[in-house]
Amino acid sequence: MTWVAYDVLAFELFGASDAAMGALLFATLTNWVVVGADSAALRRAGVRVSAWWGILLLPVYVILRTRRAGRSPIVPAVFFALAVAYLFSGDLVLDGLDLP
């Protein structure tokens, strides 16, 4: 959902010509903050996953995080399913908003 919100916010702030770059900037900054906080929380729980994986390659971070934390493999599956769903539905949602 944050990806769609970033797309809408970027359209409002930057206009149609620069909206893609604005959305990417918002998503990247949010990703860095969330990965840093997640990595710190995991470290306090005794699980070591470098935040650099999340900053450079988010899918690798999600897989490493799941394995090292001993969680269900459904977490990466849901992550990838949501990413694919956004790729297919993101344009439809933005077209439906009728932004200038």
Q: What DSSP character marks residue 100?
A: -
State the pLDDT at residue 72: 85
**Listed residue (84, 64, 71, 96) closest to 3, CA to CA:** 84
Tokens of 90: 């993101």
Q: What is the mean pLDDT of each run of 10 residues along the chain (100 residues)?
A: 63 63 73 88 90 85 89 87 77 58
pTM for the model: 0.64
Judged by phi (left if over 0) then psi (alpha if -120 to 50, else beta), residue 91 lies in alpha
pLDDT at 40: 93
**Model pLDDT, residue 79:** 85
CA 64 from chain centre, in angstroms, equals 16
